[in-house]
Structure 1
Amino acid sequence: MMFFNTMIFGTLMAISSYSWMSMWLGLEINLLSIIPLLSKVNNIYPSEAALKYFLTQSFASLLFLFSIILSSNLKEYFILFSDSFLMLMLNSALLTKMGAAPFHFWLPEIIEGLKWNNCFIILTWQKIAPMILLEYNLTLTTFLSCIILISSMIGGLMNINQISLRKILVYSSINHMGWMIAAMMYSPSIWMIYFIIYTMISFNIILMFNNLNIYFMKQLLICLNSNKMNKLLFTMNFLSLGGLPPFLGFLPKWLTINNLIYNNFYMLSVILIITTLISLFVYLRITFSTLMFNSTEMIFMKTKMNISMIILNFITIFSLIYYSYLLILF
């Protein structure tokens, strides 16, 4: 509980600071607090995951601190380091911390060694501070456009033929990170809406996987056959994660595409839509296999389900219908 609270404190310190050094200090407090959470014995590979995470984040923090020091004090002594190059270093360090492609090499390996509760922290909470700090620094539009394209393409293509549910969610997170950076470039409010909706959908999916204690596709197909409500909720949540209307996951993508087209990013919008269709193809293939394949489903078997979990899922999934109704009214 102490390390969990200091992890939250480090993130809040980083995003509410006025100086870059205080932001770096908040990121370091957050890093040192999450290492004991990752090295708990109930994880699958605790030491390996904690060590890989520590080394990667330490390198990113070193690059972040180096670019801050050069830009503030020593820039006149290093003529080779221009302002754009220092901003490139700073943004690269933040993108490494959040796990955006092509700086994503550490993320699938670490997630594969963790339990679902730590996976949720890495995929959601640990991205808040780097993304808000990146928002302060959105000067290199061409560089960020390349990051958006690479993240969306890798997140879409690497999802094909995955059998691990954790890796599917990791590459889905990389794909959504491309969308979030695209939303952040011209409208921080759309980024906030996107991140909140992504966190809600991920929470529903990870909560379901955690309750069923499943980590691979074969386990998923076996476990979902015993309960029709689990199967229905899983299917709708995955389709919502892919951004299929009328589910809630369609709303932030709709707002992001509208914002990009308004700012004349036509090619970027087309590539984002195509790569999202690849991810949606993967999700549809998973959901079709759970719904339509002939299997030994025990109709008479009754399993208790938490009614609050069912209500939370339905509110999260179908909130887009309520949102559209309110728009029509007002």
Structure 2
Amino acid sequence: MTKKLKFNKNLLINKFNNFKLMFFMTLIMGTMISINSNTWINAWMGMEINLLSFIPLMFNLKKSSNSTMLYFITQALASSLILFSTLMMKIEFNLMKMNMMFSMIQFSLLIKLGAAPMHWWTPKIFLNLNWKMSFIFLTWQKIAPLILLNSSSNNNSLFYMTAISSTILGALLGMNQSLIKLIMIYSSINHTGWMLMIMMLNVYMMIFYFLIYSIMNFMICIMMNNSNINYINQLFKINNQNLFFKMITISMFLSLGGMPPLLGFLPKMLVLITMMNNNLFIESFMFIIMATVTLSFYMNPLMSMFLSIKISTKWNFKIKHINKFMIILMLINLSISLTILPFLTKFL
């Protein structure tokens, strides 16, 4: 009987892994269809394939039925707005109504992106995801809405107001949070404001910003997944780890906050330079203030690690839970942005 049970469990695990691989492939395919589409109907179809592939990956997680239903309702609402606006553009030929339909499409894409003030659904969903799915939610799920927003950028005032509100609300709501996932999702809203602002000025700069942002999120999600950490209080156990492990974690959070000379400082500095070249001085000053606010709440997960002698009374220089992959991530993160910045500013 025990052999049969083990055999049945192995079959179930293999089937689950095969279904998971299939949904990952369709998730990638849906995004690619949306990016390479020439019409809004094809873009809508690609986003629906992406949605129907991401929901089963969420539903296999524990305690995720409510968040899965909420994600489905918000994404279906945004998709229905896109489909309705596309059909109305085929019927109406008035320019005023066409501009209104384009604005509705942009509004629905901003809902899918999770930008403020349409961000209310993102923290409730993000709390019930594991770290692997959190990385997909923060990075891959933003690709199709960002590319489609760039192709439909006829209402820059909507982009401007959304970028300002995302930067301010993402910075203010992330303060005094005790969950690392809440800090990550509010920082994602803040970074979305930066990406929307630079999208109006330079699209290639937005792609560069998104790539650096994805690398930083990948570092943090892999580190938190390997350490099995969700709360800030759990970071106290890192005091029993070695100094090198602390340096990796601290550098990753500071890089996400944009502390020079880490990797996350480079895209923010390039965005500020581009904004000042376009005479957006007040907005640049506001973005700098919000960047300092976000850096302040990034420091909360690190305060326990700054106390080097909290639990253990001796320095532990033995390398534990550190592999070559983590060393490579730290070297990438510690690449000196100040040396690369003068060369990149020549191409602006």
State TM-score, norm by structure 1: 0.93
In 2, the alpha carbon distance for the partners of 1:3 and 1:33 equals 5
Query: What is the distance in 2 between the residues matched to 1:308 and 1:109?
Result: 32
Rounded Cα–Cα distance in structure 1 between residues aligned with 2:62 and 2:286: 37
Q: Secondary structure at the match of 1:82?
A: helix
1:60 correspondence with 2:78: yes
In structure 2, relative to structure 1, the CA distance for the partners of 1:87 and 1:289 (3 Å cut) is same
Query: Over aligned residues, Cα RMSD in angstroms?
Result: 2.1
Look up the match of 1:311: 328
The one of 315, 334, 343 equivalent to 1:299 is 315
User: Quick one: distance in 2 between partners of 1:122 and 1:70?
Assistant: 31
Name which of structure 1's ranges 112-121 and 65-74 shifts more when overlaid on structure 2.
65-74
> Cα deviation per residue 1:279-320 (whole Å; 9 max; x = unaligned)?
011123432442137511363465231112211222133252
Count residues with an aligned counterpart.
325
Q: Does 1:236 align with 2:251?
A: yes
| Contact persistence 1:44–1:115 (CA under 8 A) | no
Q: Which residue of 1 aligns with 2:28?
A: 8
- Give the stretch that moved more between structures: 291-300 or 31-40: 291-300
Q: Deviations over 1:165-189 (max 9, x none)?
A: 1110000000000000111112111
Matched, 1:187 2:202: yes
Amino acid corresponding to residue 32 of structure 1 in structure 2: L
Deviation at 1:154, TM superposition (A): 0.9
In the alignment, the residues of structure 1 paired with residue 62 and residue 275 of structure 2 have an alpha-carbon distance, to the nearest angstrom, of: 41
Q: Taking structure 2 as the reference length, what is the TM-score of the superposition?
A: 0.88
Shift of 1:227: 2.8
Paired with 1:327 and 1:139, the residues of 2 have a C-alpha distance of 29
CA-CA distance at 1:123 after TM superposition: 0.5
Contact 1:98–1:127 (8 Å) recurs in 2 = yes
Closer, same or farther: CA 223–64 of 1 in aligned 2, 3 Å: same
C-alpha deviation, 1:136, in angstroms: 0.8
Unpaired segments ≥5 residues, structure 1: none
List per-residue Cα deviations over 1:112-152 (Å, max 9, x = no partner).
01111011110000000000000012222222111011101
Q: Which amino acid aligns with 1:135?
A: N
Which among 24, 35, 39 is matched to residue 59 of structure 2? 39
- The equivalent of 2:120 in structure 1 is 105
Distance 1:304 1:289 in 2: 19
Q: Is the 8 A contact 2:239 2:307 kept in 1?
A: no
| Alpha-carbon separation, structure 2, partners of 1:262 and 1:322 | 21
- What is the letter of the counterpart of residue 191 of structure 2? H
Counterpart residue identity of residue 91, structure 2: N
Cα deviation code 1:200-220 (max 9, x no counterpart): 011001100000001000012
Does the 8 A contact of 1:165 with 1:216 survive in 2?
Answer: yes
Indicate if the aligned counterparts of 2:82 and 2:104 stay in contact, CA closer than 8 A: yes
Which sits farther off after the overlay, 100-109 or 294-303? 294-303
Report 1:132-281 matches (<5 A). 132-281=147-296
Query: Among the aligned pairs, what percent are the same residue?
Result: 38
What do the CA deviations read for 1:74-109 (whole angstroms, capped 9, x no partner)? 455xx9x62332222111100110111111111000
2: CA distance between counterparts of 1:225 and 1:163?
21
- Larger CA deviation: 300-309 vs 107-116: 300-309
Question: Would the aligned equivalents of 1:94 and 1:134 in 2 still touch at CA under 8 Å?
Answer: yes
Structure 1 letter corresponding to 2:87: I
**Could you say what secondary structure the match of 1:205 adopts?**
helix
Letter in 2 for 1:85: M
Based on CA coordinates, which of the two structures has the bigger radius of gyration?
2
1:89 aligns with 2:92: no
Greater mean deviation of Cα atoms: 317-326 or 104-113:
317-326
CA distance in structure 2 between the partners assigned to 1:45 and 1:75 by the alignment? 48
